[in-house]
Chains A and B, each alone.
Chain A
Amino acid sequence: MESLVKKFTQSSLALPLVALAVLLLFNAFFVDDFFKIEVMENGNLYGRPIDILYRASSLIILALGMTFVIATGGIDISVGAVVAISSATCCVMLGGNISGIPEHPFFVAILSSLCVGIVAGIWNGTLVAKLKIQAMVATLILMTAGRGIAQLMTDGQIITVYYKPFAYIGGNIPGVMLPTAMIIALAMVLLVLFINKRTSIGLMIQSVGINANAARYAGIKVTAVLFAVYIFSGFCAGTAGLIEGSLIRAADANNAGLNMEMDAILAVTLGGTLMVGGRYYIGGTIIGAITIQTLTTTMYAIGVSSDRLPAVKAIVILLIIVFQSEKFKEMYRNYKLKRLDTQLSVKKEVSNA
């Protein structure tokens, strides 16, 4: 038992998990029926936990891609904009026909969205891996231009899609209990875990993130690894774009995926992956993303108004980050040592007396 506790506290997932647990505990006490899950009349599951996972889906997907990028020592701040492009693509392909008849078949629209994401990834990959531009600057280009591109595609209009099945992606497929977004996110997580387990891309990514030069001398194709992570990040953004578009059944070039890149980066860091690259933690990232969403849901549940939400969120996240910092851990260790010392000396005095 003791070794199990020790194993847990030393594991990289310990802190993110504890942070999430504290949030959930808070909810358990202060929010009525927080953990209650019901089956609705139409057969769908309903309840706050489901809601959290459902709303966290896009973020989880983006954060998965972001984890690999950050592990190579890079960053991809264009994902929010790519979400906008991807959702615009899908909506444009389906068209805003009020009769609900799509201009192109649904699967073509979906494929185009995913392809657009991949193309965005290739663009970022070219800048970072081939032209060796710093990742922040390279992806800043698409971050700035991306919404413009989405605007061009939609002609500056918000295209509303009346084609019914489009809503299934962000909602529920009739007869399936879980929201589709959750299923997509789960599939992506499984895909990533599979890649992690069955290929050595993880080893390559970490090597590149820790010491790209030495990785090259060990025969790793650094350029190819970098390309791969940006393409995957683009693909993730493309997928999240489908969900985000479907949620509002429209292409909103200005607001789709707005600031999501920052949440994704936050999720990765909350999960314990360092911004300098190297070791990455998929489990941590997922928990990080869920934590962010839980926080938002909790705030709404206890009645914090949406204009005050960012401030409260910032404070909580600040606390989590501080608790995770090396400096804080060191301070805590020193504090514990000191207490041990005083306890020992007290014992000595007692025994002397």
Chain B
Amino acid sequence: MALEDNEYILQMKHIDMFFPGVKALKYVSFNLKKGEIISLMGENGAGKSTLVKVLTGVYHKTNGEITFDGKVIEPTTPLASQQMGISTVYQEVNLCANLSVAENIYIGREPRGAFGRIDWATMQKNASDLLFRELGIDIDVTKELNFYPVAMQQMIAIARAIDTKCKVLILDEPTSSLSDKETERLFKIMRNLKSQGISIIFISHFLEQIYTICDRITVLRDGTYIGEYDIKSLPRIELISKMMGKEVKEGEIESNVDKSVPRENVFLETEHVTVPGKVKDLSMDIKEGEVVGFAGLLGSGRSEIAETLFGTLLKSSGNIYIDGTAVSVKTPMDMMKNRIAFCPEDRKVQGIIGDLSVRENIILALQAKNGMFKHMSRHRQNKLADYYINLLRIKVSDREQLIKNLSGGNQQKVIIARWLATEPNLLILDEPTRGIDVGTKSEIEALAVSLAKEKGMSVVFISGEMGEMVRTCSRVMVIRDHEKITELNDDEISTAHIMQAIAGDYHGKSC
């Protein structure tokens, strides 16, 4: 049966899906036309990933019907749905880091020569042809995947996905680790695929990107289906209110929270701090009650500065002063004792201890700081955990729930709670809102500001989203090529100025 252009290639009807004790999807429908790019939108925990996993056979639906390419299908395993033509590229690249690029693309379906021998030459040739033809990438495919940056790995994952003759390509948060330029490139590829008749499900938290690339949007909330909309007929503000289930005014999201006014005292100061290849001659200070932003492109060195302040990277020269005294740093513990706390960038790899409970995750840093022989009583642990669960409004069934079963936003809140429990004077938040829903995002922004304002805590706020820093920071340091190029103060802080500063066109009033 030939498909007409506007006919649906994929229809999911009235899908129900249970987890033990929880109904994750309630009567959800989803339609995908041939050759369109659709976005699946919803806050964290709305059921986007669950729906995708039902489609790819990772989870199995309880009720409902899936029609793909004119036939009713029952996805059983990821492999089976891939063979049917449904390919997925996940947020975290799930390839083998220490195999070559070519091996990664052809793993499981290696071209064979005589006697079943793997035909390496053909494999490598095919791989580099594929990458060049489809994505315009010209790289050495015999190098290990590790050799390339995450953005490139993502492209390779996409190459692998589209080479398996897929009809539906699912991109789950593919841009969260990409720079603007790389995203641009990805979009070009997506448009190209679209013109070849491939349908794409694009999941992203970046509204800007959704509106640039997608044709239609399907909105989910709390595991229920809210609706399908043409992108042109759905203003952003309406989309957000549909996702959150409440009326939001555009101003509310964009407006300045009342920013914190820095106090006189300098809490931390660095003097010509250098980490070879990571941080170049950094001199700066952070005042009490100040929210300082580190702005810069991905890989500009903004995270490395944070890691140097926390002691996970060690400086080779220069000095760090805290409250005016020079400190020597050998381990993160040295900095924790100096009341510095650090929520690292990669929540999953550097943040959560997945198989531990929310309680254990919250008390972990404080317990480590106290030392293992000053064991906190269970009563005290419970009290501490409950306090922060209430304070940050962390959504958990109870404090003994495993952290890996929480949504990304709630995991992030737990990590912040872990550090607040150590009662720091300086809290470094590295990309605290990445991959988090809009509601939680603004909660975390507001928290950063209120900690500075009310407790006089210093906060370092690092984000790839300029708007976020414009809303929260009293001062923004602009980082480029591992070097601080300028600082923006108060009224100077705007997305435009930051972008110009990164580009080197704006040098700030103070410099």
Contacts and interface: CB of A to CB of B under 8 A. Distances in A.
Interface of A: 198-201, 203-204, 206-207, 210-211, 213-221, 278-279
A210 B367 contact: no
B222 interface: no
Contacts of A204: 367-368, 372
Interface in B325-376: 331-333, 336, 342, 344, 349-356, 360, 363-365, 367-369, 372-373, 375-376
Pairs of residues from A and B, 9 with the lowest C-beta to C-beta distance, nearest first: A219-B368, A200-B372, A210-B355, A218-B365, A200-B375, A218-B364, A217-B350, A278-B355, A219-B336
Nearest to B349: A213
A199 B377 CA distance: 10
Contact of A214 (B336, B351, B372): B351
Pick from A198, A207, A218, A220 the residue with the most CB of B within 10 Å: A218
Given A203-B367, A217-B342, A218-B418, A210 B353 contact: yes
A213 B350 CA distance: 6
B356 A221 contact: no
B155 to A, nearest CB: 25
B98 to A, nearest CB: 14
B333 A206 contact: no
A201 B336 CA distance: 19
A269 B354 CA distance: 21
Contact of A217 (B312, B356, B369): B312
B360 A221 contact: no
A210 B354 CA distance: 7
B372 A201 contact: yes
Interface in B361-400: 363-365, 367-369, 372-373, 375-376
Interface string B293-333: 00000000000000000001000000000000000000111
Given A198-B375, A199-B373, A200-B376, A217 B354 contact: no
Contacts of B333: 219, 221
10 contacts: A199-B375, A200-B372, A200-B376, A210-B355, A211-B352, A213-B350, A214-B352, A215-B353, A217-B342, A220-B368
Contacts of A214: 349-353
Contact of B356 (A199, A200, A201, A206): A206
Contact of A219 (B332, B349, B352, B356): B332
Contacts of B373: 199
Given A217-B312, A217-B344, A210 B356 contact: yes
B428 to A, nearest CB: 11
A219 B354 CA distance: 17
Given A217-B332, A218-B418, A207 B364 contact: yes
A220 B364 contact: yes
A-side binding surface: helix, strand, loop or mixed? helix
A214 B352 CA distance: 6
Contacts of B350: 213-214, 217
Given A211-B349, A221-B331, 7 more contacts: A214-B351, A214-B352, A217-B312, A217-B350, A218-B368, A219-B365, A220-B368
A213 B369 CA distance: 17
A218 B350 CA distance: 9
A110 B356 CA distance: 39
Pick from A211, A214, A220, A278 the residue with the most CB of B within 10 Å: A214
A341 to B, nearest CB: 13
Contacts of A206: 353, 355-356, 360
Nearest to B347: A214
Contacts of B372: 199-201, 203-204
B352 A203 contact: no
Given A213-B349, A217-B344, A200 B367 contact: yes
B19 to A, nearest CB: 14
B369 A219 contact: yes
Contacts of A279: 355
B355 A203 contact: no
Nearest to B333: A219
A211 B312 contact: no
Contacts of A203: 356, 360, 363-364, 367, 372
Nearest to A204: B372
Pick from B332, B333, B355, B365 the residue with the most CB of A within 10 Å: B355
B313 to A, nearest CB: 12
A256 B376 CA distance: 42
A2 to B, nearest CB: 18
A278 B402 CA distance: 13
Given A200-B372, A203-B364, A203-B367, A216 B349 contact: no
Nearest to A215: B353
Nearest to B332: A219
Contacts of B369: 219
A225 B342 CA distance: 21
A211 B353 CA distance: 6
A203 B342 CA distance: 20
Nearest to A225: B372
Nearest to A220: B368
A218 B355 CA distance: 15
A120 to B, nearest CB: 23
A11 B263 CA distance: 53
A116 B375 CA distance: 30
A228 to B, nearest CB: 9
Contacts of A200: 367, 372, 375-376
A335 to B, nearest CB: 16
Contacts of B355: 206, 210, 278-279
Given A203-B364, A204-B368, A219-B368, A211 B375 contact: no
A215 B342 CA distance: 12
A329 to B, nearest CB: 13
Nearest to B352: A214
A219 B335 CA distance: 9
Contacts of B365: 218-219
A300 B364 CA distance: 48
